[in-house]
Amino acid sequence: MNETTTPTAQSLIASSLSKGDGNIPGVNSGRAAQIVMEARDLSVYYGDFLAVRQATFSIARNEITAFIGPSGCGKSTILRSLNRMNDLIHSARVVGTVLYRGIDLYGPLADPGEVRRRIGMVFQKPNPFPKSIYDNVAFGPRVNEKFTKSELDGVVEDSLRKAALWDEVKDRLKASAFSLSGGQQQRLCIARALAVNPDVLLMDEPCSALDPIATGRIEDLMREIKSEYPIVIVTHNMQQAARVSDMTAFFSVESTGDTNRPTGMLVEYDRTVDMFSHPHDERTLSYVSGRMG
C-alpha cells in the first residue's frame, strides 16, 4: 500500500527523541518534549502524480497548528495523511514517515481504525449522520466500546459541553441533527469527534461553510479545548490562522512541467507570530501580506 520504510517502533522512538524538534528556528527547545506527532519527508502521490513533496513538521501539545496556502497546495492532502483518511482514496500513496508518539502511522504496528479513533477529524462541510443529535455523538463510542446507558449519557453530555453545544440542544437530544443550523452542526461534528476521546484533532477548513458569528464560536471553542487536544487546522483564511494558531505551516505550489497539476510543498513552518511578522521565505511574505493566492 505504501512505500514507507518501516523500522521498528523502538528505533523510531529513539530517532525521534534524538532528532527532536529543537532545530526549528525560533522555537524553544522545551517544545520537543511536548511533541505528539511528527511528519518527516512526507510526500503523497495520487497514482503517478506527486501531490505534495517532502513535508517535515511536528505537532505539539497545547498548540494549534495551522496549515495555510493557496488552493491546490496540498494542505488537505497532508492533513488527511495524518490520520490515514487518504487510505480511502484508492490511488493515494504515502511516502515518508508520520510518527504518532514515536509509532509509525503507516507501519505494521498501526491499525487504520485505531489511528483514526485516536486522531479525530472534522470536515469542511458539517457532515452529521442522518440520526438524532444524541445518536450522532453516541455513534463513535458505541462502535468502539461497550457502554451502559448511563455511561453513554455521560459521554454524550460531556462531549456536547466541550463543544459548547449542550445548552442549546439539551432539551432536544432526540431531534434530528439536520434540524440544527450550520454552525451548530459543525459543533455537533466536533462533539462527535471528541466523544471517542481522541488524542489529536484534525480540522479541514471547519469554518469555510459558516458565517462569521458561527466561525467565531468555533474559534473560541478551539482555544478552549487546545489544552486537552492538540489541533491541526487547514484554513484558507489567513486571519483565522493568525487569530487561533500557535504554529503555522505555509504550503505553496512549485511549478513543474504539468502546469495543470502543480506539486505542493511545505515552504515554511514556524511560530505563527514569527511567520506573520518576519517570514524567512519570499513566497511566505507575499502570501501573508496578501500579494499572492
Residues 140-179, one symbol each (x = binds another protein by CB under 8 A, - = not), give x--xx-------------------------------x-x-
Determine, following the binding rule CB under 8 A, whether residue 196 of this chain makes contact with another protein.
yes
Considering only residues 121 through 140, tell me which ones interact with another protein, judged by CB under 8 A. 121, 123, 125, 127-131, 139-140
Residue 275 to residue 292: CA distance in whole angstroms: 16
CA 91 vs. chain centroid, Å, equals 21
Residue 251 to residue 266: CA distance in whole angstroms: 4
Nearer Cβ to another protein, position 61 or 125?
125
Q: CB under 8 A: which stretch of 18-26, 112-120, 219-227, 282-290 binds another protein? A: 112-120
Question: What is the strand order of the sheet 64-68 is part of?
Answer: 103-104, 92-100, 35-46, 49-60, 263-271, 247-254, 64-68, 231-234, 200-204, 119-122
Determine, following the binding rule CB under 8 A, whether residue 182 of this chain makes contact with another protein.
no
Contact assessment for residue 168 and residue 198, using Cβ atoms and an 8 Å cutoff: no
Nearer Cβ to another protein, position 40 or 116?
116
Contact assessment for residue 169 and residue 163, using Cβ atoms and an 8 Å cutoff: no
Determine, following the binding rule CB under 8 A, whether residue 109 of this chain makes contact with another protein.
no
Determine, following the binding rule CB under 8 A, whether residue 74 of this chain makes contact with another protein.
no
Nearer Cβ to another protein, position 14 or 89?
89
**Residue in this structure with the C-alpha cell 496556502, named with its chain if needed:** 69
**Residue in this structure with the C-alpha cell 449522520, named with its chain if needed:** 129
Determine, following the binding rule CB under 8 A, whether residue 49 of this chain makes contact with another protein.
no
CB of 174 to another protein, least distance (A): 11
Nearer Cβ to another protein, position 70 or 139?
139
Closest Cα to residue 123, out of 172, 170, 193?
Answer: 193
The b/e string for 212-239 (b: 16+ C-beta within 10 A; e otherwise) is eebbebbbebbeebbeebbbbbbbbbbe
**Residue in this structure with the C-alpha cell 507570530, named with its chain if needed:** 273
Q: Of 114, 220, 224, 254, which one interacts with another protein (CB under 8 A)?
A: 114
User: E-assigned strands of the chain?
Assistant: 35-46, 49-60, 64-68, 92-100, 103-104, 119-122, 200-204, 231-234, 247-254, 263-271
Contact assessment for residue 52 and residue 44, using Cβ atoms and an 8 Å cutoff: yes
Determine, following the binding rule CB under 8 A, whether residue 193 of this chain makes contact with another protein.
yes
Determine, following the binding rule CB under 8 A, whether residue 101 of this chain makes contact with another protein.
no
Determine, following the binding rule CB under 8 A, whether residue 37 of this chain makes contact with another protein.
no
Question: How many chain residues touch another protein (CB under 8 A)?
Answer: 28
Nearer Cβ to another protein, position 46 or 139?
139
Nearer Cβ to another protein, position 193 or 238?
193
What DSSP line would sit under 71-118, residue for residue? TTSSHHHHHHHTTTGGGGSTTEEEEEEEEETTEETTSTT--HHHHHHH
Q: Of 2, 16, 77, 83, which one interacts with another protein (CB under 8 A)?
A: 83
Nearer Cβ to another protein, position 188 or 267?
188
CB of 130 to another protein, least distance (A): 4
Residues that bind another protein (CB under 8 A): 83, 85, 88, 90, 113-114, 116-118, 120-121, 123, 125, 127-131, 139-140, 143-144, 176, 178, 189, 192-193, 196
